[in-house]
Structure 1
Amino acid sequence: MTTFKDSPLHAGGETPSGRMTLAQIFESLMGGDLTVRITAYDGSAAGPEDAEFGLKLKTPRGTTYLVTAPGDLGLARAYIAGDLELVGAHPGDPYGALQALASDLNFSRPSPLTLATIARSLGIEHFKPIAPPPQEALPRWRRFAEGFRHSKARDAEVIHHHYDVSNTFYEWVLGPSMTYTCAVYPDLEASLETAQENKYRLIFDKLRLKPGDRLLDIGCGWGGMVRYAAHRGVKVIGATLSAEQAEWAQKAIVDEGLSDLAEVRHSDYRDVTETGFDAVSSIGLTEHIGVANYPAYFGFIRDRLRVGGMLLNHCITRPDNSSRSRAGSFIDRYVFPDGELTGSGKIISKLQDIGGMEVVHEENFRDHYALTLRDWNVNLVDHWDEAVAEVGEGTARLWGLYMAGCRIGFERDIIQLHHVLATKLDDRGGNDLPLRPWWNA
């Protein structure tokens, strides 16, 4: 079979007909020398016939998605809509196919002659934008109707977009812990539930919590940390912007007999007025705050703590402090609208700059998040039929794609997960902490 590398188009020429097949177009846009197999609805194919994984373009609509949004957004639109298949992979866990595809994706700009040939081959109708899949959020510039970026109203809307999918769906994906944050695996053989329990144990110990203490858990999700601490005699207030999370968490609190100690509020964390907490946990919230709002965010936490109180900030980060903070198109439109990531160094510096807080420990858990995502994908595969019946195939495909893609991101050090531990100092800059770490790693 003639490959793109050997074809006239690779040298800047044209096929005898002057047009390209869909598979040739794919191959040209991906840089040639494919390791995956490409097939298309026009009957064309490219790439090795014995490839373990492949791409199958099924419909003209998929072509339009790919042409009008080149890159990850167009691929996601076509895949979520069912117009593009990752051959050889289960839609609940396309990790292997994404790994193979990532080695092929190049998206280097073709020559002007090749671009003209592509346009002539496809026809003008594919260059007219069409409505994206219903799972897609509005682009950033159209979200102003929901308020300014990171206003209370707009934050509530984007949290609703991601978290109010279906508690039943999350139960299948996350497992019994209902914990949608990175677990901490004590060893490679540990189960997801063991690792999530271990994560809460680690945070509880780092915060030096004991019976009778008061904890504020902001961005508390389904109340995993709230209930863990309350079971150990700590009085806890949790806050979440997700109505479905708050309802689920409050029921779990009642069912577990924790009503005297625990409460989860459906509210913005900025509306919590109580002060004097012994500790604040922020587990997976900072990603939604916005880098420009870090000073106000950390100032709020400092002002809610008593002198000597502890903060544990658990947050996805970038591996450096200079990259742009805004998420890419796919993540922003389908996963975390308005989400922003930065390096752990910037998080630490913003926390230090507010004054009155001392950072005492920091560590990276990116390998643990890759394992967590692996196990979530396994759960989705195990409950695929139920998940599709609950939220629809498009949403289920989106979650499989998103989690497997993020797993690759953590494995390749494109993103990380950091704990930052800090304490509120007294007026003379003192603290009462032990000289060495007091928790079991």
Structure 2
Amino acid sequence: MSGVGLEKATEIAARVEEFVRNVVIPYEKDPRRDNHGGPLDELVFEMREKARAAGVLTPHILPDGSHLTQRETAIVLKKSGLSPLGPLACNTNAPDEGNMYLLGKVGSPEIKERFLKPLVEGRARSAFFMTEPAAENGAGSDPSMMKTTCRPDGNHWVINGRKAFITGAQGAKVGIVMAKSDDGACMFLVDLPNPAIRIERVPNTIDSSMPGGHAVISIEDLRVPADQMLGNSGEGFKYAQVRLSPARLSHCMRWHGAVTRANEIATAYAVKRQAFGKPLIDHEGVGFMLADNLIDLKQAELMIDWCADVLDTGSLGTAESSMAKVAVSEALFRVADRCIQVMGGTGVTEDTIVEQVFREIRAFRIYDGPTEVHKWSLAKKIKRDANNPQH
């Protein structure tokens, strides 16, 4: 990947940070911010118009359609994440950011024009339909368990199944649907809404930063033209791998920004708040927590940059992204937890964004693969490498 260079990326990031701190953060008090799982689309698109005017909409994708390198993207996305609303305003949010990356890499010119362009322009949201209900023993952390089927019918494919935890499906205009044919996994692009794709319910979840929440979906006799399949029948998992590692890493980038902000708030509180005759920060128990926060944030930043460098070589970075996802999500959770603790009762209220950041990071330890699944995958690699040493 060529990118624009770290200096130019830093300039873009500075503009993004200024926009998020001055324009987006005041929206954190907007009543449209939390509506059964996520902000209302009315709020999202209002912020995006302001981002467009400020020149910071979709800042990780250049006007010619090329992407910043992963290392450059990290610089920018961390700044967009300084507010949970920042990625939505700047169009760097999940799942859209990962979906744009995938379609930019493997989409046909027709697919790019029809499905990718409105996403890059920030005029539409998307959803990635892969996870399935646990009660039906469908695909979750193990995508090979996929139950949703697709079969050819003339110049169309017909898809049937159920999906769960589909982020942003409610209100999305673009869908990427994974299903299983006789050849294996397949991936399809569909316009939304579609009468064959029905939202059964949107459960309440611990997080609240993603518009549309995380829906349970039924798909009944969905007909998709054959030219809306990505690649060929059976190649779905190959394309999922293209999306997987960068999407994992961009989650790390965005949430690093959010936790950095939480730490700023906790630090300001500890410096000003008096207890037992001196500022909280002068009490070793509090000061040491904030010191540990700096250490965890720096280690997380270095893991992100290391994995980004691996991906920028063209490697899929499967193991490296698993390591980064585990290390960063666990480190950021420790930081968010300490921020709550430092702030005491204030930390568990909605008076600051720290409480929401804590909830979001708790969810982050699960989505894009729970810590335990990544460790299990790494353990399999360790065993494989040990049994097949390279000489």
The TM-score, its normalising length taken from structure 1, stands at 0.25
Which structure is higher in helix share? 2
The TM-score, its normalising length taken from structure 2, stands at 0.28
